[in-house]
Amino acid sequence: MSTQGSKKFSRSDLEIKRQIFHLVAISLWIPLILYLPSPIVLVLMIFVVLTNFAVVMKKEPFVKIFWPLIEKLEREENLERPSIQALLGNIGILISFLLLGKLAVVSVVILAVGDALSTLVGRTIGKNPIFYNSKKTWEGSLAFFLGSFFALWIFLDFKVALLFSLVCAFVESLPLPVDDNLSVPLSSSLLGVLVLL
């Protein structure tokens, strides 16, 4: 028995699972970046990006290993290129690490917390589309901003956390041809080069 309401609930349930996984999986980079020697972190990041690329390209044995996770968490429209958004996020984190070193933790926090919250809030309770991007909502962007700000405030002073949160929430809301899993860490990295180094 499939009704429009049950499909919406199922999709909403999938998004909640996806975003919790997104938050936890990306956050795993935080202690690695902060506490492991940089060369080890770099090797781990390259390994993750290459493995993730093999999954996207559906190469064995990688796709077989990760398929149970993909079946539970991937959006139907992404099954042709499973895990593509994770690949873009990991590439963004790698670029951030190459540019900022240990300060890449800022990009990781923004991507993990801000992006997860914007999707959770925007897709579940968002009702007011942003005038320049009807695919995003004011509620989702506000959740991105607030979540990022309070998470960044742990690592940065108030004004710098505020700046990063505002800029990245704005970038995430733009109708760019690039997935926000890449545009968010890239924009936070570029801002980091200007402000943190």
pLDDT tens-digit profile of 16-50? 888 999 999 999 999 999 999 999 999 999 999 99
Token digits of residue 71: 């079946």
Which pLDDT score is estimated for 178? 93
pLDDT at 10: 66
Q: Is the pLDDT of residue 5 over 70?
A: no
Q: Is the pLDDT score of 8 beyond 80?
A: no
CA distances from 134 to 32, 126, 148 (A): 37, 11, 22
Place of tokens 């710098």: 160
The pTM (predicted TM-score) of the whole model is 0.89
Asked if 164 contacts 190 with a C-beta cutoff of 8 angstroms, the reply is no
Q: Rounded to 5 degrees, what are φ and ψ at 130?
A: -75, 135
